[in-house]
Chain A
């Protein structure tokens, strides 16, 4: 089957670094996305990985290991506004069909 796992909740302190993990089991892997969703708002795109390695974008970085079915989102210099849910999504190919499979999200609370 196709499955994505990520921790339900995490807590961190303002100014610190936090790593949010995502493991997946899919056939026809074709890319992994991270989105941020604040309470009551729509998800916003953070990053996309399709090859192994680290992609850095300011305070946020995302890592992918396709052989391990594993990704993480690294948030540095945490700010209070980073309190949100972080969604991992994997695109899977099946023939001509492409679909996004979503994790349930990791709710991150940043404390002062």
Chain B
């Protein structure tokens, strides 16, 4: 089985711009969770999608949004970028059932200048 893919792997943006990140989960997985990881803050949960519906949401401002398509691929968008948005954005693929182990993609490294 192919693993989780995320594009792009690296991004450099300036303050005020917006960005869209993409995640393709493992074939057969219907859930995708998004995380922001910064040094000292650990993994911060953004949101979870299951079958095109947002199932859970973390405590991030409305500038952070996401969606999931019928093929389970997911995108997240950050508008009006701030310097503090610089982070590694990780997408995790999971089945949405039973043990529901999350498998992570390689991440997108976003730098906001």
Residue pair B105, A42 in contact (C-beta under 8 Å): yes
Residues of B with C-beta under 8 A to A91: 100
Residue pair A43, B56 in contact (C-beta under 8 Å): no
Residue pair B90, A42 in contact (C-beta under 8 Å): yes
Q: List 23 A-B contacts (CB under 8 A).
A: A33-B101, A41-B107, A42-B90, A42-B105, A42-B106, A42-B107, A43-B104, A44-B104, A45-B101, A48-B99, A97-B55, A97-B56, A98-B56, A99-B45, A99-B48, A99-B56, A100-B33, A100-B45, A102-B45, A103-B42, A104-B40, A104-B41, A104-B42
Interface positions of B (Cβ within 8 A of A): 33, 40-43, 45, 48, 55-56, 90, 99-107
- Apart from A45-B101, A104-B41, what are 17 other A-B pairs with CB-CB below 8 Å? A31-B99, A33-B101, A35-B104, A41-B106, A42-B105, A42-B106, A42-B107, A43-B43, A43-B90, A43-B104, A45-B102, A48-B99, A48-B101, A99-B45, A100-B45, A102-B42, A105-B42
